[in-house]
Amino acid sequence: MSSVPLLIVGGGIGGLATALAAARDGRRVHVIEKSPEFTEIGAGLQLAPNATRMLDRLGVLDDVLRPATFPKNLVMMDAVTGSPITRLDLGHGFRAHYGYPYIVTHRGDLLAAELKACRSNSLITLDSGREAVSFEQHDDAVRVTCADGTSFECEAVVGADGLWSRVRKAVHDDGDPVCAQYVSYRGTVPLRDVPPETDLENMTIWVGPEMHFVQYVIHGGTLLNQVAVFRSHRFTPGYEHLEDWGTPDELETAFAPLCPVVRNAVRYVRRDRRWPMFDRLPISSWTCGRITLLGDAAHPMLQYIAQGACQALEDAVCLGNAFARRQDPREAFLAYQEERIPRTARVQRMARFFGELKHLDGVGRAVRNALLQKRSPDDFEHFDFLYGHTPL
């Protein structure tokens, strides 16, 4: 059995950010990850100013920016007609307003920057191939046991183990995640192979009835990231039926009525893997004594406003701040969740709302387009809540 002051379960973006935040406060941290290596599944990732601000606080922003791409605008297009709806100018005015840029990057590039910083910090131990399976809490410690028999005696535990978190069940067993009945297919294409009509300067989202399609350039300007999302009308409740709906033939059917640019682009999306979309309803507490939750383990949200990783980074910095103010981890965890739960609950609900807004049809779609076409590209008012946030 190993004795560790702070154990972080999960070595993804949120877990490593938490390790950096705690180590900056002088705490010794042990991170366990069930995969054989510290890796990120997926490709593209959007990081708004609320996330790049956190990366600066963690001391990794320069390394993250190096391979990142800086889109000129966030553009919303009508996927049926091919007509523009609205855009958000991400240029000098945007950066002056928020103090930090909006970037797009590869998930692996972000994790690589965090890994580099963690490996250079003597207070952080990274331990892969360790799957935590049980948690036994006492007044003065938490015993965490792994599938291989390894165990840790911990002063505090942070569960950063994602949507299907085992740690969450030790804190708040609220059942299984909620399926949105939508599925996504995603992947990258070398820039040399993309269709000539592709917009390479902007982050573009094509919205249509019960679907949307996202495109942006990542990885030092070498890859086009594409995400195709649609609602499955074959959806069947129950996790034993996950493979029965949202199939590639449904993808073809969902995108067939759309404009030629989208129909052509979706041909380049890989069909060999799909991601059913889940979230959870907000809960009133993430903490039980010496255990707390972070990122998707605490507040999984739908991807419609690209805030999952951003909120995990905010969590990490906020928790680091709580550690700096309170020596007892139980007090730090309570202060952390008191600050974070109201914000993340609002973001979870906002993500659901924007999913409904993007996927409108009929009169709703016409009204949405008409209203959004009237807004100015440099009107940041409705983004301040998300992008202007700074943890206390």
First-to-final CA distance of the chain: 37
Is the pLDDT score of 241 beyond 90? no
Q: Is residue 88 part of a domain?
A: yes
Q: pLDDT class for 288, splitting at 50, 70, 90? A: very high
- Tell me what pLDDT residue 243 has: 85
Q: How far is CA 277 from the centre of its chain?
A: 12
> 308-325 vs 49-57: helix axis angle to the nearest 10?
40
Is the pLDDT score of 42 beyond 80? no
Mean pLDDT over 84-103 rounds to 98
Is the pLDDT score of 39 beyond 90? no
List, by residue number, the catalytic residues. Answer: 216
Bridging pattern class, strands 211-218 and 203-208? antiparallel
Q: Is residue 373 part of a domain?
A: yes
Q: pLDDT class for 184, splitting at 50, 70, 90? A: very high
Q: Is residue 358 part of a domain?
A: yes
* Residues in Cβ contact with 84 at an 8 Å cutoff, skipping those fewer than 6 apart: 75, 76, 77, 78, 373
- CATH number at 154 reads 3.50.50.60
Is the pLDDT score of 239 beyond 80? no
The two three-digit tokens of residue 24, written as one number: 């900056």
Structural domain range at position 380: 2-176+280-387
The two three-digit tokens of residue 1, written as one number: 């059995």
Convert the pLDDT of each residue in 207-225 to its tens digit.
999 999 999 999 999 999 9
pTM for this entry: 0.97
Q: Is residue 143 part of a domain?
A: yes
Is the pLDDT score of 307 beyond 80? yes
Q: Is residue 246 part of a domain?
A: no
- Tell me what pLDDT residue 2 has: 87
Q: Is residue 67 part of a domain?
A: yes
Q: Is residue 241 part of a domain?
A: no
Mean pLDDT over 342-346 rounds to 98
Q: How far apart are CA 266 and CA 227, in angstroms?
A: 9
Three-state secondary structure string covering 51-82: HHHHHHHCCCHHHHHCCCECCCEEEEEECCCC
* Residues in Cβ contact with 45 at an 8 Å cutoff, skipping those fewer than 6 apart: 104, 105, 106, 107, 110, 218, 306, 309
Is the pLDDT score of 240 beyond 80? no
Quick one: what percent of the chain has pLDDT higher than 70?
Answer: 100
Convert the pLDDT of each residue in 129-172 to its tens digit.
999 999 999 999 999 999 999 999 999 999 999 999 999 999 99
Give how many domains the chain has, as a whole number: 1
Average pLDDT, the chain: 96
> 308-325 vs 329-358: helix axis angle to the nearest 10?
160
Q: Is residue 189 part of a domain?
A: no
